[in-house]
Amino acid sequence: MAAKTHRTAVPPAVLTTRALNRATLDRQLLLRRSPMSAKDA
């Protein structure tokens, strides 16, 4: 049980940090590409 709890507590933290970093980068890229896409469309 202890191992499962520890394993479950570790991945989420790392995934959350990575997800936030990736989300921020993706959003910045999307926002920067938004104007170009709109002009192309």
3-state secondary structure 1-41: CHHHHHHHHHHHHHHHHHHHHHHHHHHHHHHHHHHHHHHHC
pLDDT of 5-40, one tens digit each?
555 555 555 668 888 888 888 888 887 766 655 566
Q: Please tell me the predicted confidence (pLDDT) of residue 7.
A: 55
Q: 2 falls in which pLDDT band (50, 70, 90)? A: low
pTM of the model: 0.39
Q: Please tell me the predicted confidence (pLDDT) of residue 32.
A: 75
Q: Please tell me the predicted confidence (pLDDT) of residue 4.
A: 56
